[in-house]
Structure 1
Amino acid sequence: MTDALSPSDIAKRASALRAAEFVEPGMRVGLGTGSTAAFLVQRLGERLRSEGLRIRGVPTSARTADLAQAEGIEVTTLEEVGWLDITIDGADEVDGRLDLIKGGGGALLREKIVATASERVVIIADAGKRVGTLGAFPLPVEVIPFGLGATRRLVEDLLAGADVGARQVELRLRDGRPFVTDEGNHILDLRLERIGNARQLSLGLNQIPGVVENGLFLGIADTLVVGRPDGGAEVVDMSQADGVPFAGTDNIFTEVVD
């Protein structure tokens, strides 16, 4: 199966296979969105068929729900289960504190709701997603369609005083039309290059009328599983101060050491 995959996809799949080991029978599982999360759902389907694994999955998008149902996984809602044992999802960027940028697939709102309603959040990624400073990947901001122009201007005004490397705001399009999320909203992609103070920026964005949520996932992830092109995977857990270095000059446990 891995012969037809690119080195990046082999790494993504490796991270998903390792993370799938955290899922135990009877768990309520948040199922992420994106190419790496798709490998996870497929693996859980394999376990269902080979081991009889029974779980209840809460998908973060319609795409994930369709895939989970095709794999035979019981799909439910957050309202029905109330709380989740674990959520496993991908990321577009992850820094040394396990802070993330997510939302490249357009499901950031549901992803953040599901993640924050979980006992444990496991992020799966290939090594290319690890960065010293967040911001190279465009930051998605979900906004309601009403008053979109005014909301965009307020976002641009906020960025004018923010500690970022660039300040380009683009409306996400699909087939020449505004991209529509599963919740019926649009997405502004902020091309910032570098985010100096992610927490301040996140708070500022979410105070703007018309902004529903932003793609900064701060202090949410508990564990990172990084896949390698050789099919292996590395597990980085915030509870283990083992000094694992990330790309750039940051270290995941710098603040702990200090």
Structure 2
Amino acid sequence: MDAVAGASVSSSSARLRPCPRPRRIGNVAPATVRRRSRRRAVTCAAAADADVVGLFDAAKLTVDRFVESGMVVGLGSGPASGLAIQYLGTRLRRGSLTGILGIPSSTISASEAEKAGIQVSSYEEGTQIDFAFTDADIIEEDTMTAVIGRRKTESGEPSFMVEKGIVKSADKLAFIIGHEKYVKGIEGSIPVLVKSVWRRPSIGTAGPLGGDFPLVTKEGHHVLDVIFTTPIPDLGKVAESLEKIAGVVDHGIVSSIP
């Protein structure tokens, strides 16, 4: 058992178990990381979502534990990922890391990387990524299946296609989340990208661009939120079902990671 930045790090080749509940020190819950000993390790860095100090500890741990000099690193989106990008820039300025190439998943993460002094390149399908980190909206405990794309970014980028592409391309992946987002029985919305559709709004007018206030990605796809009012027994099966529906381009479920 290694002790890194006040967090516990465990490895197991057996079935993945839930991240242990963090032991609180004062008012701060230390981060915890759970990983699989596989070619592509999936990790869960958890901290108190409302506690910026806790999120920074988890972001710092992610960079210290998994980023090495010379890596191509996928830079995720969200508050915790922003903190990790800033800290990665600090490590580069100190000289403790060198030769890092960042692949940002959004305009915001690209801007954060440039401010942090990280060399960046755009993502293209087939890009080899050594390690990636990102926020997840929620994670299923036993399977590590995650939902991304619920957040509506300030830049007006509702598309999560690049973020998901980076996540799926990475040899190692870390989700940085608040502990309360690591749960059994996920419910709520699953964002789904579909080909352009007309919608009938409760107010306003409908039209080829989706009527009033549509969410349209830069690729021209519409974003729909599929709402589940009861816990989902198997997110992986939901993903399989969505992919069989004509007109569905992509969805926010990240599953079946080897």
Do residues 216 (structure 1) and 249 (structure 2) align? no
Distance 1:180 1:149 in 2: 12
Amino acid of the residue matched to residue 142 of structure 1? L
Distance 1:201 1:81 in 2: 26
Rate the CA distance shift 1:11–1:142 in 2: closer, same or farther, 3 A.
Answer: farther
Rate the CA distance shift 1:16–1:48 in 2: closer, same or farther, 3 A.
Answer: same
The structure whose RCO (Cα within 8 Å, separation 6+) is larger is 1
Deviations 1:3-32 (A, max 9, x none): 9x9843332222111101111111000111
Pairs within 5 Å for 1:98-247: 98-105=144-151, 106-136=158-188, 138-144=189-195, 146-149=196-199, 177-193=213-229, 194-220=231-257
Which residue pairs with 1:18 in the alignment? 61
Amino acid of the residue matched to residue 75 of structure 2? L
User: Quick check: 1:148–1:210 contact (8 Å CA) kept in 2?
Assistant: no
- Match of 2:59, SS state, is helix
User: Quick check: 2:193–2:251 contact (8 Å CA) kept in 1?
Assistant: yes
User: Quick check: 1:90–1:125 contact (8 Å CA) kept in 2?
Assistant: yes
Q: Where do 5+ consecutive residues of structure 1 fail to align?
A: 151-175, 223-258
User: Quick check: 2:72–2:130 contact (8 Å CA) kept in 1?
Assistant: yes
TM-score, length-normalised on structure 1?
0.67
Distance 2:139 2:125 in 1: 31
Q: Structure 1 stretches (4+) deviating beyond 4 angstroms?
A: none
Which residue pairs with 2:81 in the alignment? 37
Do residues 9 (structure 1) and 69 (structure 2) align? no
Distance 1:181 1:128 in 2: 29
User: Quick check: 1:101–1:134 contact (8 Å CA) kept in 2?
Assistant: no
Which residue pairs with 2:92 in the alignment? 48
Amino acid of the residue matched to residue 224 of structure 2? L
Q: Where do 5+ consecutive residues of structure 2 fail to align?
A: 1-27, 29-47, 152-157, 201-211
Which residue pairs with 1:242 in the alignment? none
Do residues 90 (structure 1) and 135 (structure 2) align? yes
Rate the CA distance shift 1:32–1:81 in 2: closer, same or farther, 3 A.
Answer: same
Distance 1:107 1:50 in 2: 34
Which residue pairs with 1:59 in the alignment? 104
Which residue pairs with 2:23 in the alignment? none
User: Quick check: 2:133–2:174 contact (8 Å CA) kept in 1?
Assistant: yes
Deviations 1:36-65 (A, max 9, x none): 111111111111111253310111111111
Distance 1:42 1:107 in 2: 23
User: Quick check: 2:197–2:222 contact (8 Å CA) kept in 1?
Assistant: no
User: Quick check: 1:31–1:87 contact (8 Å CA) kept in 2?
Assistant: yes
User: Quick check: 1:87–1:121 contact (8 Å CA) kept in 2?
Assistant: yes
User: Quick check: 1:62–1:182 contact (8 Å CA) kept in 2?
Assistant: no
Rate the CA distance shift 1:56–1:91 in 2: closer, same or farther, 3 A.
Answer: same
Distance 2:55 2:222 in 1: 28
User: Quick check: 1:28–1:81 contact (8 Å CA) kept in 2?
Assistant: no
User: Quick check: 1:102–1:216 contact (8 Å CA) kept in 2?
Assistant: yes
Distance 1:20 1:107 in 2: 26
Amino acid of the residue matched to residue 141 of structure 1? V
By how many angstroms is 1:80 displaced? 9.1
Larger strand share, 1 or 2: 2
